[in-house]
A and B are shown apart, each in its own frame.
Chain A
Amino acid sequence: MGIEERIQSQVLTSTLERFVNWARKSSVWPATFGLACCAIEMICTAANRFDIARFGMEAFRASPRQADLMIVAGTVTKKMLPAVIRIYEQMPEPKWVIAMGACACSGGIFRSYAVVQGIDRHLPVDVYVPGCPPRPEALLYGILKLHEKIQKDPFLTRKEGPVHVPAEVQVVAEARS
C-alpha cells in the first residue's frame, strides 16, 4: 500500500537516544592501561581465546584522548593515583570506568599504607568486577553489563547534565592546578 509498505521493509524507526547509545556501546574503545596482575587477565581477554573483538572493543588505545573506557586493572597505589586521575581527565566525554579486580574495587588483600582502598573513592566507577584476579569471562560479563548500562543511558533527558564529577576528583584537580 503505497509508501508505508516500502518504508517498513527498509527503514527502522528509533529514538535518537536509543540510536546514539547503540552506536556508543557497540564500539567502546578501552585505554591501554594496566596496573598490576589484573592487567595480565585483561590482556588474555583481548588475546585470541577470549577475543574482545567480538564486542567491538579490540581497539585498545595507548592515548587516553582516543579512549572512552578506562579499565582500572589492578592495584592503585598512592604514588600511582595522580597518574590514574590524570589519565581519566584526559579522556574525552562520554567516558566510563570499570573497576577490575578486588584491589581496584576495595583495595583487596593489600590493606597497607601504600594502597588506595578502592578507586571509587576517586573516580566514578560504572561496573565493579570482583575477583583476584577476575577470570577473562568475568571481565567480559562486566563489559556486557556496561553495554547494557550505556544502552539505557538517558543522556538527552537527564536533568543534572551528562557529567558527574565526584567531589574528590575536583579537590585533587584543584590542588594540582
Chain B
Amino acid sequence: MYTQEMQEAIKIVEQTRERRLKETFPRLKPEEKENLLRSYHPDYKPDATRVVKVGPNKGDKFTHEHADLLESRSMLDPDTFSLDNIDFDVDVLVIGGGGAGTSAALLAHEAGAKVMIATKLRHGDANTMMAEGGIQAADKENDSPAIHYLDVMGGGGFYNIPELVAALVLDAPLCIQWLESLGCMFSKFPDGTMHTIHGGGTSRKRMHFAHDYSGAEIMRTLRDEARNRGIPVIEFSPAVELIIDEYGQCAGAVLYNLETEQFLVVRAKTVIIATGGSGRLHIGGFPTTNHYGATADGIVMAYRAGAKLIYLDATQFHPTGVAFPEQIVGQLVTEKVRGLGAQLVNAEGEQFIYPLETRDAVSSAIIRECKERKKGITTPSGMQGVWLDSPMIDIIHGKGTIERELPAMFRQYKRFNINMAEQPILVYPTLHYQNGGILINDKAETSIPNLYVAGEASGGVHGRNRLMGNSLLDIIVFGRRAGMNAAERAKSVKLGRLTLDHVKRYHEELRKEGLGQKVAPILLPDYRGKISG
C-alpha cells in the first residue's frame, strides 16, 4: 500500500493524465539516443568493467562480476579427480532445463538421439518461466522477416552477427507454429488470428503473447512434452565442468548433486550448454528480475574449455523493475504495460521519454530523470523511481483490460494492496538480461568441436541490446537448432579418452597471473544473513 506521501505524489500524475492521453512524446533522434546511452547507461560507467587476464578473451573488458568468475579456479582438482566411473553415457547432454535446453532436448529426441537434461534446480526453473511480455515473429501481412531483421540490428546497435539474426527472423514463424502445434495457448481472436502488439524498438506489431504468462505457458508446455516423451532430467545437479577428450572434442560434463554433494560423470558425444544468464551476479549492485540460478555457469565452463565470448560486457537493464513495494524490488513489470499504452511519468506528472524506445534508451532516460534532473520519486526505503501510469490502459482499452491482459502483474501488486488499474506503479531499471555470451554460429556450434550453445548463454544474435520478445524467440530458434545439429553430429562422433586437461592448463594460466583464489561456477547466490535484492 502506498504511503500518504506517495498518494499525494500520485495526485500530480492524475492531474496531467487527461492531457497526456492525447500527447505523444517525440522519439529520440539517432544522435540523441547515442548521447543518452553514453551519458547514463550503466555499461558506460568507466569503473564498471576491467580487463580479464586469462583465457580466450584475455585483454578484453568484462564487468567485475563476470571477470571475478573468469578468474576463478574449478571446483574440481583436475590432478586427482577421476573420470573412470561413468555415471551416464548418452549421445546428447543438455545442460540446463529452461526453454532453450528443453527445446534442444525435444529436437534431439525427435532426431533419434539418446538425450539427457541435467539442470541446477527443477526442470523449468529458468528465466523462460518468468518472461511475461511475449515472443516476436513476423507473420502478419504488413510484416516480413526482413523488417524484423532491421529492427533486431537497430536494437542491437548494429553489432549483431548477421547469420544469427537471419536464422532468428526466418525461423521465427516456424517456431511459433511449432509451439502452437504443441498446444501452447497464445492469445488469439476467435478465428485463430494471433493478437500481436508492439514492443520497444519494433516497427511492426509482432509481439505474440499468452496474457502476461507468455514464458510460463511456453515453458510448462515444453516441459510437459519432454515428460510425455520420457526424456530423462537430472534435477538439482548442475554441471560444474566440461569434459574434453584427448582429441580436443567436448565429451561430456561433471555434474554436482546439490543435495547429496556427490559428483557425477556424464559421457556424451555432443554437449549443449543452455544455462541461461547471470542476473544473480547482481552486476553493478543492481537488483535483478532473474531466477535464483542465473549465475553464468555455462559461460565459466565453456571459457575454461577455450570458447570465445562476445558482448558479455553489454548488460540489459529492464527499464521497469519494481521500485515499490520494497518486498519485490527489482522484479519485472512487463514491457507489455507500455505496449498497451502506459506512459512513463516523472514527479511533476510529465513524460520524459517515448515509452517504447529500446530498453537501453528507456533505462538510461529513467536514470537521468532520477539522478540528474532530480525528478524521481523517493520511496520510504530511500530508493528512487518514476511512475508508470498503468491506469491509462483501462482508459484507452476499456475497463477490465489490465485484469484480463496483465493478470500476473495485477496479482503481483494486489498482493501488496496496490490496484494498478487505479493507481500508477513506481519503477526503476533492474538487471534483466545478458546481451552477450559464448560465440556461436547459425548451427549453434562453438569453436570447440561438439559443443553447442543456445539461449541467453550464447552471444552475437542480439548485438549489444536485445529487443523485447526476441529472447523467448532466441531460446526456441537456437534451442531447436542446437538439438537438431547436436543429434545429427552425435551419429558420427568417435570419442577418445576423457580428460580434464583443459582445466589443468587453465589453472596453470591462473597461477602465473596470481589468480584463482575463488571458485566458480558459484551455482547459487549466497544471501544468508542479508536482505537480498
Q: Note whether A and B form a binding pair.
A: no
Q: What is B's interface to A at a CB cutoff of 8 Å?
A: none
